[in-house]
Amino acid sequence: MKLHTSLEDIKRPVSLCIRDGMCTYGEWPRCYPLCPIYARHRVFTASGGGLVCLAHAVAENRIGYTSTLAEFAYECTLCEACDMCEIIPVPPPHVGPVEVIRFLRHQLVREGMIPEPIAEKYGEDRGVRVARFKAGMDAAGRIREADAGTVLLVESPARAFEGSSYEAAVRLVSKIGQPVGLLEAGPPIYDLYDLGFWDELEEVMYLKSGLIRGLEGKDVLFVDPHGLEFFARRYGELAPANVEMRCRHFSQFLADAVAGGRLKARKERIAVSYHDPCHLSRGMGISEEPRDLLSFLGVELLEMKRSASSTYCCGAAGIPGVSTEFSRWCASERLEEFRETGADLLITACPHCKEMFREVLPEGDKNRVKDLLEFVLRAQEYMKREAMTFNLTQHIEIDQVMLDLFKQLPSMVSRDKDVQWYPDGDSGFYATVVVI
């Protein structure tokens, strides 16, 4: 949707909703409820279609902008379940319910109806919001390895929960051996689009356009599915000048590396369940590549009842980076599905999903949620340790160099049988092999 879209422009598409509830549930025959706000409140007003009807009422001056309208509009997680409806996107401007909700938020921002958690995080007025973005751009830089045909786009490294995912991506690139550039692009701009800060977005996209132009003709890798979908599906329509680039998620890059024999890893004998991030599975149609990677690692994959394009939202995207009671409720609902599978670990391919799940889990269970890239990296690094172990069942004499190695790596796994090595407490030149 264009940033200068008006209420008059959307009158026709929003008038087409027939209130059939198709926006609230998944595909036949299972028809699982997918819209989180509808699952919580069980009234049509609290759904993608309900918000479309509210936008229609606003466009026809039947209702005004109120705090209640803002509460409904910003509780939506933008999970795109309602975009499965095939009625609204048909006529120009070809917008789905989620785009209508973003537009409704934009109108609320112009009317000063910004919920308090968003105002606290992003600022009360446009000047503050733009100034914060400009400050974040101070860390942005040019593309490293500018000649590389593939570039990893890193946005908002200051977010601690994203750091480990980006670190895993960079380390995997080095292990694969393919030349990949790195662009530190400052704060993400999809936040502004999702939250309705469209006037600010127009200004900051101009500030960022110089960096993005450097991606012309390149394969651009994303760790964050939200950024991937924004650049792949929205940026060309919104930007001052379109940039031709091929946007890909990092899981697709890894799947290609596996197929080409450039990435090897130890087989993981463990049961896992995979959570499809909404913007990756529904937004970009990417659900097979993460599963291909898990299959490559040899894990037992136990699917949750809502998966792939019928995934259920973790709750993190409603107000990016801000935890609310509703977002925690969404995460708890999804984690209950995970527990029903009996899997040992929950794997996801989005740092936002990972953090949302970890937030609601008790302290002792937080490590049961893993980022896909970190999981692949761990398996790859354990394979290297495997090559350094020995299949023995008795004391062996070793030299001081090997003893120092064992002290640094106290637990290693053999390819033939599960064992652990420990330096022998009685003799500095012995190690004990213990069968697990």
Whether the predicted pLDDT of 86 surpasses 90: no
CATH topology of domain 7-113: Fumarate Reductase Iron-sulfur Protein; Chain B, domain 2 (1.10.1060)
For residue 198, the model assigns a pLDDT of: 95
* pLDDT single digits (tens) 126-144: 998 888 888 888 767 777 8
Can you tell me the mean pLDDT for 328-350?
A: 97
Structure tokens belonging to residue 365: 């269970």
Q: Which of 83-97, 253-267, 350-364 has the weakest average pLDDT?
A: 83-97
pLDDT band for 382, please (50, 70, 90 cuts): low
Residue ranges of domains in the chain: 7-113, 137-248, 257-381, 389-435
Q: For the range 160-166, what are the long-range contacts, defined as Cβ-Cβ under 8 Å and sequence gap of 24 or more? A: 161/351, 161/352, 161/354, 161/355, 162/223, 162/224, 162/351, 164/351, 164/371, 164/374, 165/223, 165/351, 165/354, 165/371, 165/373, 165/374, 166/223
Question: Is there a cis peptide before residue 115, judged by omega within 30 degrees of 0?
Answer: no
Hey, which residues does 225 pair with through a beta bridge?
none
Whether the predicted pLDDT of 399 surpasses 80: no
Domain 257-381 in the same topology as domain 137-248: yes
- Percent of the chain residues topping a pLDDT of 90: 56
CATH topology of domain 257-381: Rossmann fold (3.40.50)
For residue 162, the model assigns a pLDDT of: 64
> Is 14 buried (19+), middle (13-18) or exposed (0-12) by CB count in 10 A?
buried
Whether the predicted pLDDT of 396 surpasses 60: no
* pLDDT single digits (tens) 229-287: 999 999 988 987 788 999 999 999 999 999 999 998 888 889 999 999 999 999 999 99
- Tokens 């995207």 map to which residue? 317
For residue 2, the model assigns a pLDDT of: 86
Cβ atoms within 10 Å of 239's Cβ, excluding its own: 18
Please calculate the CA angle 255-320-289 and round it to the nearest 5 degrees. 10
* pLDDT single digits (tens) 103-131: 999 999 999 999 888 888 888 889 988 88
* pLDDT single digits (tens) 21-52: 889 988 877 788 999 999 999 999 999 999 99
For residue 343, the model assigns a pLDDT of: 97
Can you tell me the mean pLDDT for 403-420?
A: 41
Q: Which of 190-199, 277-286, 309-318, 378-387 has the weakest average pLDDT?
A: 378-387
- Please provide the average confidence, as pLDDT, over all residues in the chain: 84
Confirm if 345 and 369 have CB atoms less than 8 A apart.
yes
The pTM score is 0.85
Task: Indicate the residue type of 411.
Answer: S
CATH architecture of 137-248: 3-Layer(aba) Sandwich (3.40)
Rounded CA gap, 206 and 256, in Å?
Answer: 34
Angle in degrees, 0-180, between the axes of helices 7-14 and 97-110, rounded to the nearest 10: 150
pLDDT band for 321, please (50, 70, 90 cuts): low
Buried b / exposed e along 296-322 (16+ C-beta atoms within 10 A): bbebebeebebbbbbbbbbbbbbbbbe
